[in-house]
Amino acid sequence: MYSEKVMDHFRNPRNVGSIEDADAIGEVGNPVCGDIIKLYLKIKDDVIEDIKFKTFGCGAAIATSSMVTELVKGKTLDEALQISNKTVAEALDGLPPVKMHCSNLAADALHKAIKQYRNEEFVEEDHHHQCDHANFCHKEIKIDIEKEA
């Protein structure tokens, strides 16, 4: 089951959208479950002034993207690089084990954007094995639709 914080960030995601003149963009995805997270950063004097996201994925992917934006807005780039999948999951009062890959993706998108801004190489970790089934992440959406029908 999801925590109340996860449900809140899923139902009322913060900082949704894009930034036209973004200083950095980090996009990562998981081809196994289909989640894609794209983060846009506006940076001034090494501080994240603004951050927005667009996510295609399950409720946990949306919630983790939303939480990452709240965790790093106003932080320095070095502070933001300290954000890990564990940090994101803990800030949401936990995630089910089969959804931890979502917090990995959110943290990876953030790190990728910062590395791009700094012209550093980003090595994406392989989180594909963490999504149990090809359509597992999207089954919950189908179930919700069936309940409404």
Residues forming the active site? 33, 102
Give me the residues paired with residue 47 across strands.
44, 76
**Phi and psi angles of residue 83, each rounded to the nearest 5 degrees, phi first:** -70, 130
Residue with tokens 């409720």: 59
Rg (CA), the chain: 15
Q: Where are the beta strands (DSSP E) in the chain?
A: 24-29, 36-44, 47-56
